[in-house]
Structure 1
Amino acid sequence: MQIGIIGCGVVGAAIAFELSQTHQVTVWDARSPHQWQATGAALGVLMAAITPKLKGKHLQLRLDSLKLYETLIPELEAITHISLPYNRQGILRLCFDGDELNRWSRTQQVRAQQGFHLDILDQDQLFQTYPHLKTAHLWESKAPAVGAIYSPQDRQFDPVALSAALITAAQKNGAEVYFNTTISGFKPLQAGDPRSLTHVCSSTDSYPVDWVIVSAGLGSTPLTTTLQQTVPIYPVLGQALHLQRQYPLADLLPVVNGDQAHIVPLNASEVWVGATVEFPSEVGGAIEADPVQLKELHQRVIALDASLAHAKVLRTWSGLRPRPHERPAPIIERLPGYDNVVVASGHYRNGVLLAPITAQKVRQLISN
């Protein structure tokens, strides 16, 4: 079959790689190859096992997708001959309330049944294992860390490197990828009966398709509006920092999570820190990055890790996350009214984590 995928961020790239193994795939994206938009703004933190939820559809998606990465990364490295930046040190979630720490015992038991290991560290164990966190506290209340949850199986990737590897692997399977190409319309099988689309159209070309996958993040809304089945997805802005420690730490460390922030170690000296969550003043409205929120984020991570107090700011950046309006993220479903259109978009803050399972769900939808 000929599959057309609109959008080539991390989710679209994962779908392209998955489907290119058995189908002829064409991918279009309006951006240039070096502009990564939501994917480029992401930190690539895969929080699955360390999520406090005990059950639910979204939790299962997280856990299933995390498992897929264990075979996906070696497969991509074998195909592309590129070693992907990949933090296998897990995630350390700091706790600042004794009751919260105790509640994790139940989650620990459930995760063990699901095939995931969690360690619950008391304060002494936390500080002994991670001495640079001895003064960790909440920025506003000053409440000290009383312990932590350590998840050795959660991961972190460089999202741009991962996406580029997925695109390269799909191309090696025969996929055609067109950047700087805006999709402007579609052709149905019969005029007045748009249930089955036969072509995807740019300003210069018309491409035959058997299936259309809309995976364009925020661009998914105008595309579905063109098909008269609007899927509202609106932006939420996130800001982040790239810091360089004054004194390198000895060991590669896990990602640290606490007080609504992540500290993502890139090497002994450098970390990514993020991210703010900034909503527009009205639904669907424009968002300007708020410097006050970025400053507060910086102060929160210094409260968690005092060794970052004198770190050099190498760069700051921001990006827009695609969040579905008045429904849970993500959207992975057939577009109502169409026989051969799937929407796989609106992953909000979990695009990197959920990319592999999204690709598998899309395969199931077009196979059924």
Structure 2
Amino acid sequence: MSISIIGCGIIGATIAYELSRWQSLSVRESNEYTIDVYDACHKPASAATGAALGVLMGIISQKVKGRAWNLRRDSIRRYQTLIPELERATGAKIPTNSQGIIKLLSAEDDLIKWTQLVSTRTEQEWQLELWNARKVVTQLPQIDRRFTGTAAYSPQDLQVDPVALTEALVAAAQLNGVNFHFDRSIESITADRPQSCDLLTPDLPIITSDWTIVTAGLGSTSLLSPHAAIDIQPVLGQALQIRLPKPLGNPDFQPVIVSEDVNIVPSGNDYWVGATVEFPVDGVVTAQLECLERLKQIAIATCPDLAQGEIIRTWQGLRPRPNQRPAPVIDRVGANKRILVATGHYRNGILLAPATARIIGDMLLVNGENSQ
């Protein structure tokens, strides 16, 4: 059986790695298969993944049931084993912040709703706490001392370097026999035959595959247009990196801080600050300098000593957001149902990658058994 994956951001790389584990786990003992991953860029994580901050808001999310919660829950569980598993396999260190996420609640936040969420998470056997202002400024002395509100603390949520994670997934998948093809564009997919799909490229013969998985983010719309009307729209995100002489506050407790939907991510003496949500205007997405300045001002208002730092880098990226349907899109498309799509994760691509890979794997297993 041959499987082709189009796109090597975090979603494509995670699917490739998880599928590559099938043989070692004896999931498909009777069926030899190959996995090929194609990406138009020259290296993995070159698009939306490379611009992400890697803040995994699972437990602290207000989602408590249904698909949205299940995806978050399953991914956080898998991350607990996935990161050490990849580090053992590749020998690479994946930068990770496992000290949790602190969300500063505003006066507009419903404390009753947050109290109920803490109770729900306890019933679900997850940790979530509400801190009063005194505890916040005691535990996080970098916070503005005038803070008088409440905060939610999720010690089991985490942050991971998206590029390092994706590169480790690729390396581990290669060790398991996956073939990666960079600088390789796929122009279209045909699925006229019941047992396979054909991938068309500008410079190579037709690539025939038993199964095709589209994880191409913003490129998914054109690839899937003959088979399904899946409209993926770009939403711009911007971020900046501030360097200080030393870490803020307690160097032994450096969680991610979220204030007014802005993430402050510690990384040694550096702090990543992001990200904006900038929608297209008349179909055009243009970075707004005032949005980047707003990020900076919110970060400084939250942690005043950030004003003493130097901005050493700014960056931006386009997030793939499904138009008029929930994110993400994980489905079967095409007349022969041999095209699978996992795209449009919007702001949660890093968070939801493991659960997405599991769903795609289940689809392949079910469809593979039915087709034999």
TM, length-normalised to structure 2: 0.91
1:140 counterpart residue number: none
Note if 1:103 corresponds to 2:101: no
CA distance in structure 2 between the aligned counterparts of 1:336 and 1:113, rounded to whole angstroms: 41
Note if 1:2 corresponds to 2:5: no
1:168 counterpart residue number: 171
CA distance in structure 2 between the aligned counterparts of 1:278 and 1:58, rounded to whole angstroms: 23
Q: Indicate conservation of the 8 Å contact 2:55/2:160, yes or no.
A: yes
Q: Structure 1's 256 and 145: CA in aligned 2 closer, same or farther, altered over 3 A?
A: farther
Question: Where does structure 2 lack aligned partners over 5 or more consecutive residues?
Answer: 23-32, 367-372
Percentage of identical aligned residues: 43
1:236 counterpart residue number: 235
Q: CA deviation at 1:2?
A: 0.8
**Aligned positions of 1:307-318 closer than 5 A:** 307-318=305-316
Note if 1:151 corresponds to 2:154: yes
**Aligned positions of 1:258-269 closer than 5 A:** 258-267=259-268, 269=269
Q: CA deviation at 1:74?
A: 1.2
CA distance in structure 1 between the aligned counterparts of 2:182 and 2:96, rounded to whole angstroms: 26
Q: Structure 1's 2 and 101: CA in aligned 2 closer, same or farther, altered over 3 A?
A: same
Q: Structure 1's 338 and 252: CA in aligned 2 closer, same or farther, altered over 3 A?
A: farther
Q: CA deviation at 1:231?
A: 1.2
CA deviations 1:285-318 (Å, max 9, x no partner) are 2211100111011101111111111210010000
Q: Structure 1's 131 and 102: CA in aligned 2 closer, same or farther, altered over 3 A?
A: farther
Q: Indicate conservation of the 8 Å contact 2:44/2:166, yes or no.
A: no
1:326 counterpart residue number: 324
Q: Structure 1's 253 and 17: CA in aligned 2 closer, same or farther, altered over 3 A?
A: same
Look up the SS of the partner of 1:133 in the other structure.
coil
1:24 counterpart residue number: 34
CA distance in structure 1 between the aligned counterparts of 2:274 and 2:191, rounded to whole angstroms: 44
Q: Which one of the candidate residues 72, 84, 93 is aligned to 1:62?
A: 72
1:178 counterpart letter in structure 2: H
Note if 1:11 corresponds to 2:11: yes
Q: Which one of the candidate residues 348, 351, 354 is aligned to 1:353?
A: 351
Q: Indicate conservation of the 8 Å contact 1:135/1:304, yes or no.
A: no
CA distance in structure 1 between the aligned counterparts of 2:341 and 2:247, rounded to whole angstroms: 44
Note if 1:183 corresponds to 2:179: no
2:19 counterpart letter in structure 1: L
Q: Structure 1's 117 and 290: CA in aligned 2 closer, same or farther, altered over 3 A?
A: same
1:6 counterpart letter in structure 2: I
2:93 counterpart residue number: 83
Comparing 340-349 with 45-54, which one deviates more in the overlay? 45-54
1:263 counterpart letter in structure 2: I
Q: Indicate conservation of the 8 Å contact 1:135/1:303, yes or no.
A: no
CA distance in structure 1 between the aligned counterparts of 2:19 and 2:63, rounded to whole angstroms: 31
2:122 counterpart letter in structure 1: A
CA-based RMSD? 1.7
2:27 counterpart residue number: none
CA distance in structure 1 between the aligned counterparts of 2:133 and 2:111, rounded to whole angstroms: 10
Q: Which one of the candidate residues 301, 304, 318 is aligned to 1:303?
A: 301
Q: CA deviation at 1:98?
A: 8.2
Q: CA deviation at 1:95?
A: 1.4
1:179 counterpart letter in structure 2: F
Q: CA deviation at 1:14?
A: 0.2
CA distance in structure 2 between the aligned counterparts of 1:275 and 1:315, rounded to whole angstroms: 14
CA distance in structure 1 between the aligned counterparts of 2:58 and 2:303, rounded to whole angstroms: 23
1:186 counterpart letter in structure 2: I
CA distance in structure 1 between the aligned counterparts of 2:73 and 2:195, rounded to whole angstroms: 34
CA distance in structure 2 between the aligned counterparts of 1:86 and 1:219, rounded to whole angstroms: 29
CA distance in structure 1 between the aligned counterparts of 2:45 and 2:66, rounded to whole angstroms: 35
Q: How many residues align?
A: 353
CA distance in structure 2 between the aligned counterparts of 1:162 and 1:145, rounded to whole angstroms: 37
CA distance in structure 2 between the aligned counterparts of 1:354 and 1:299, rounded to whole angstroms: 30
1:32 counterpart letter in structure 2: H
Q: CA deviation at 1:114?
A: 1.5
CA distance in structure 1 between the aligned counterparts of 2:252 and 2:242, rounded to whole angstroms: 17
Q: Indicate conservation of the 8 Å contact 2:236/2:287, yes or no.
A: yes
Q: Structure 1's 7 and 145: CA in aligned 2 closer, same or farther, altered over 3 A?
A: farther
Q: Structure 1's 12 and 55: CA in aligned 2 closer, same or farther, altered over 3 A?
A: same
Q: CA deviation at 1:115?
A: 1.9
CA distance in structure 2 between the aligned counterparts of 1:98 and 1:334, rounded to whole angstroms: 41
Q: CA deviation at 1:165?
A: 0.5
Question: Where does structure 1 lack aligned partners over 5 or more consecutive residues?
Answer: 137-143
Look up the SS of the partner of 1:131 in the other structure.
coil
1:130 counterpart residue number: 140
Q: CA deviation at 1:366?
A: 1.2
Q: CA deviation at 1:246?
A: 4.4
Q: CA deviation at 1:55?
A: 2.3
Q: Indicate conservation of the 8 Å contact 2:44/2:167, yes or no.
A: no
